[in-house]
Every structure is written in C-alpha cells, then in structure tokens.
Amino acid sequence: MSAPDSIRREPFRILVPGIDTARHLFGEDLGPEQSEHAFICLPGLLETRESFKDFCLSVATEYRVFLLDWPGRGLSDRLADPREYRMSRYLEDFGLFFAHIQGRLRAGERRGGGFGLFRQTQPANIHLLGTSMGGLLAIFFARYKSEDIASVVLNDVGCLLPWTGILGLMAGIGSTAKTSNLFGGGSRQLADDMDIDPELFRAVQKPGHLDLPHQTTLHGVDFGRAFSEVPVSLLVLKGGQSSILDEGSMARLSACHPRTEMVTFSEAGHPVPYSPQVCQTILRFCLAQNRPLPEALTQAAHTR
C-alpha cells in the first residue's frame, strides 16, 4: 500500500510452516513505533490490505496500524489446494500474525525506553478492526485472547448473518465470476484487478469455507455463542443500505453482547467505507478503551 512520506511504513513477511511446502503471509507496519494504541486490520472476504488505505491515511499519522493479506489475496502466497481456503485456516494464520505483531510492539517499547532500555513500559492497547468476514475472525480470536485486546470494531457484521444477506453476497460473487468467465478458464483479468487468487471465487461459495462453530437457524447463520464469550467492548459500524445487519441481527447482537455500541451510517452499503467520519467514530470509541495493565507493571507503578 502506498503511503505519504510522513507515515513510517515497513512491509514484512511471516513464514507459515507446512507439511509439504511453506508459504508466507504479507503484512505492513505503519505509523509511529511508540504509540499508546495499535490497530490490526482484518480484511473482508475478497479484500486485500488496500481496503484499509483510507483508514491508514486518517489514523497512521498518530497511531500504529498493522495490515495483512489473507492467503490468496494481495501479496500473501496462494494455497496450493483451493479446498484449504476456509475460515479456520485464516484464523490459524492470524494467530501467527498476531504473535509477530506482539514481538514488534515489544521491540518498540524497548526502543522507547531511552537509557532505561530494560525499563518496563505500558504495552500498547491493541484494537482489532475487521471488515465483514474479518470481523467474524476478530471475534473468534478475541474469544481466546481477550487479555491482549482492548476492543474490537466490526464493519457491518454481527453475530447473526441473515439468509437474505448471505444469499445476496453469494449471488453477487457468482454473477461476477460467471460474467468474467472465471469458472470456464477464460479471462483472469477481474481476479488480477482485485489482486486475488481466481480460485477464491469458487472456494468462498462452498459450505466448507465457513467452518467456524455456528448454528444454522431459520433466520440465518448464528455465531451468538462466540460473541457472548468475548469480554471486550465492541463497536459495530452498520451500513444503512446493507442487508447484512437487519433489525433481527441487531437485536440478537444486543442480547449476546450487551457491551456493544452500534453506529449507523445511513448512506453506506456493505461494507461501510472508511471515510473521515467513520475513522473519527472508530478513534473516539477505541481511544476510550484501555486494556488493564499486567500485574507486574501495576506493582512497579505503585513502588515508584
């Protein structure tokens, strides 16, 4: 992603070990190394890190931002077996990505110590910002790593995906692929333009792609249990013209996770664009959330 010279930018790759062949995830580290708040951005179903360009331009001048490409998207390696494109795979990859980010944040804290190189400093408050599918992955990750996360921001996704919204998304993907003759082995121009593996058009429509724990109900696909087990505060950005978050979805979300703030952008569809207004909404919410200090740092502060 291109960034102004005023914003520090460092691309990096993470090795993902494999039984037969290893592969790499691509990421970017932007913004000041010493920052009280850090944002990790998780793209949507067929998106790349470029989808957060406007967010970075608004936020990375003052706060640290990390971007990644899911496998088969952007500069991350494609999967040799298209059947491996599934959400549990992305979640495993994100665990490696998150561990790498924590190492980078600790390095920044040590460098920020000046002459007190080994002085303990307050860790950055980490916020997960997920668009659509990226939001669901953020929830499942925060479910088990809540002690390391200050808040989660979801872009137009909740704990209940209504059938109308799911069918609309899948129909759009199928129509796009058919029009571009991707299934027939014709032109790959659209996939190249989107910077994704053309196999994804087929893979994401298969039932096996959505392999995270859920319930199938009359109303849609329900992730309520996962949401109810996330103890951190949530901000949900709702597109007023989107069918992914309807009234039933919002009611279900409020019941499963009472610590949820919802903001509707009436003119937006799915997902909500990262306009200056949206970015300010995200900052207002996240900067008010602070992860509790580790016990060792709390004791150190009391002895000063």
Cβ atoms of 80 and 21 within 8 Å: the answer is yes
With a pLDDT cut of 90, the percent of the chain lying above it is: 77
For 292, phi then psi, to 5°, come to -60, 140
Would residue 30 count as lying in a domain? Answer: yes
| Structural domain includes residue 4 | no
Residue 15, domain member (yes or no) = yes
pLDDT at 300 (0 to 100): 41
Q: How far apart are the C-alpha atoms of 254 and 252, rounded to whole Å?
A: 6
- pLDDT of 168 reads 86
- Please give the torsion angle defined by the CA atoms of residues 290, 294, 300 and 303, in that order, rounded to the nearest 10 degrees: 70
For residues 49 and 9, what is the distance between their CA atoms, to the nearest angstrom? 13
**CATH code for the domain of 41:** 3.40.50.1820
One-letter amino acid at 101 equals: I
Q: pLDDT below 50 — which residues of the chain?
A: 114-120, 186-187, 296-304
Number of helical (H) and strand (E) elements in the chain, helices listed first: 10, 11
Residue pair 40/66 in contact (Cβ under 8 Å)? The answer is yes
Which pair of structure tokens corresponds to residue 234? 């949530």
**What is the reported pLDDT for 260?**
97
Answer whether residue 304 is part of any domain: no
Q: pTM for the full model?
A: 0.90
Residue 280 belongs to domain spanning = 9-112+120-298
Region for residue 156 given its phi and psi (left: phi exceeds 0; alpha: psi -120 to 50; beta: otherwise): left
Tens-place pLDDT, residues 107-155: 866 665 544 444 445 678 999 999 999 999 999 999 999 999 999 999 9
Give the tens place of pLDDT for each residue, 1-20: 767 778 999 999 999 998 77
Within a domain: residue 3? no
Question: pLDDT at position 177, please?
Answer: 58
Ramachandran category for residue 198: left, alpha or beta (phi over 0 → left; psi -120 to 50 → alpha):
alpha
Total tally of structural domains belonging to the chain: 1
pLDDT at residue number 303: 43
**Residue 223 domain flag:** yes
Report how far apart, in Å, the C-alpha atoms of 13 and of each of 43, 77, 154, 237, 261 are.
Answer: 17, 10, 26, 30, 34
Instruction: Tell me the one-letter amino acid at 242.
Output: S
Domain assignment present for 81: yes
| 96 within a domain of the structure (yes/no) | yes
